Amino acid sequence: MGAAQASNRTDVVPLSYGSPASASFPYDALQQAASDAILTQGHAALQYSGADGPAVVRQWIAERSALRGIHVTPQEVLVTYGSGQAIDFACRAILEPGDHVWVEAPTFFGALNTFRTSEAVLASFPIDEQGLRVDLVEEALEHAVRENLPLPKLLYCIPNYHNPGGISLSVFRRKRLAELALAYDFFILEDDAYSELNFGAAYLPAIYSFAPQRTIYLGTFSKTIAPSIRLGWAIASQDTAVKLGSFFHGSRASAFTQQIIGNLLSSYSLETHIGQLISRYREQRDSMLKALDKHLQGAVEYAVPEGGFFVWLRFKEEVDTGELVKYASGHGVSFIEGQQFYLSPEDGKRYARLSFSYCEAEALELGIVRLAEAYQDYQAAQAAREV
C-alpha cells in the first residue's frame, strides 16, 4: 500500500484514508470527559486497578446492541484495544496452525494479515450486491463433508457497509449463514465496524442474533468517536468471552480511556452525534459519486453504499490498479489498489477502494478529477506500449 500513500507532492488528496473526518470528533465533550476522568475519577482510573474498566461502557454496549437484535449482559461484552485486538484474540482462542479460515473476496486486509500470522489456511468466497455468496459457502461445506476435507474453524464476515465493498449482507443470507455455522460447527467472526453509519436509518439484525453460541460480534468506537481512542469490543457467549479474556495480560483495555468514554456516554448525546456523522458522510458520499459520474463516466462502475466509508470501484477496461496507483500519486491523489483485499492479487486488478469519509466535498471532487487524469495517462502509456 505504500504507493497509495507516497508522493512528492504536499497537496495529495487522500482518498486512501479509511478514516473518519477529523472535524467530526466531539472535541469539547471529550475534553470535559477527560478532565473529569483525571480530576474526579483519577484516583482509580490512573491506577493499576482498572481491570474491566467502568461498568458504564459495557452496559452501554450491551444496551445499544439490542438495536441489532443482540440481547446480552455486560458480562458477555469484552472491551478491547480496538476491534483489531478482538480479531487477534478470536484467532488465539479458536485456531491452531493449519486450521481453515474462510473469508469474503474482497475483505479487510488487516484481518487477512492477522489470519496469516495465525498460520491459518485461507479460502475466499465472492461477494455480490447482497453481500457474501452464502450459497457458495454452503456448496463448499457440503463438498468438504463428501470428500472428507477439512471444515473451517472460523468464517470472517463484514455484514454492514463492507470494507471495501460498501455493500451489506441481506437478512436472508445472514440467517442462512448462521444456520450453516450451527450445522457445521464453525464460528462466525462478525466484524461490524460501520453499522452505526447507516444512511437509511435502519438497523439490520446481526448475524449474532441468529446464532449467538457460534458468533463473535465485533464493534468499535473508532468510527463514531475517534480512532486514537483505541476502544473496541467483542460480544460472545459467556464461555467464549472467558476464553477471549484469558489473553489479556495484566490490565485490560486502558481503564483511563474507558473512564473517559464512560463519562462521554453518560453526559453527551451520542445519538445526536451519530446523526450528525450520518448527515456528513451521506453528503460526502453523494459528492464523490457525483464526481465519479461526471469525470469517469463509462469507465467505472460501483454499487452505491448505503452507509460506511467506502466506494468500491471497478474499472470496465482491463486495468492494473497496482500500476494506476503510481500514476495517481503523480497527479496528487491516493487510493488503495484492489489487490490488497484478495487472497489472490490477480482478482483485484480492476478494483480500487476510495474513501469518502476523510475529505470535504471540494477535495473529493478534486481527487476524482485527478484520478480521471491519472487514468487517462495510464491508458495512454498502455497504448504506447502496445504499438
Q: With DSSP H G I counted as helix, E B as strand and the rest as coil, what are the percentages for the chain, rounded to 5?
A: 50, 15, 35
Domain ranges, ordered by start, for the chain: 2-24+272-382, 27-267
> How many C-beta atoms surround the C-beta of residue 68 within 10 A?
22
Inter-residue contact 190 to 235 (CB < 8 Å): no
> Does the bond joining 106 to the residue before it have cis omega, within 30 degrees of 0?
yes
Phi, psi at residue 198, to the nearest 5°? -110, 105
For residue 298, what is its C-alpha cell?
A: 463509462
Q: Within 13 Å of residue 40, how many CA atoms lie on the same side as its CB?
A: 10
The confidence score (pLDDT) of residue 250 equals: 60
The pLDDT tens digits of the residues spanning 322-373 come to: 999 999 999 999 999 999 999 999 999 999 999 999 999 999 999 999 999 9
Angle at 254 between CA 252 and CA 260, to 5 degrees: 135
Average pLDDT on 282-296 reads 98
Inter-residue contact 343 to 124 (CB < 8 Å): yes
For the chain, strand residue ranges (E) read 13-14, 77-80, 100-105, 121-128, 131-132, 152-157, 187-191, 215-220, 232-235, 300-301, 310-315, 333-334, 336-337, 351-355
Instruction: Check if 2-24+272-382 and 27-267 are the same fold.
Output: no
What's domain 2-24+272-382's architecture?
Alpha-Beta Complex (3.90)
The confidence score (pLDDT) of residue 3 equals: 45
The pLDDT tens digits of the residues spanning 91-100 come to: 999 999 999 9
Evaluate if pTM is beyond 0.85.
yes
Q: Is the pLDDT of residue 2 over 50?
A: no
User: Length of the chain, please?
Assistant: 387
Sorting pLDDT into bands at 50, 70 and 90, what band is 236? Answer: very high
Look-up: residue for cell 475519577?
Answer: 41
Domain 27-267 in this protein, CATH class = alpha beta
Look-up: residue for cell 474513501?
Answer: 355
What number of helices (H) and strands (E) belong to the chain?
13, 14
The pLDDT tens digits of the residues spanning 50-108 come to: 555 678 999 999 999 999 999 999 989 999 998 999 999 999 999 999 999 999 999 99
From 215, 219, 177, select the one nearest 62 (Cα to Cα).
219
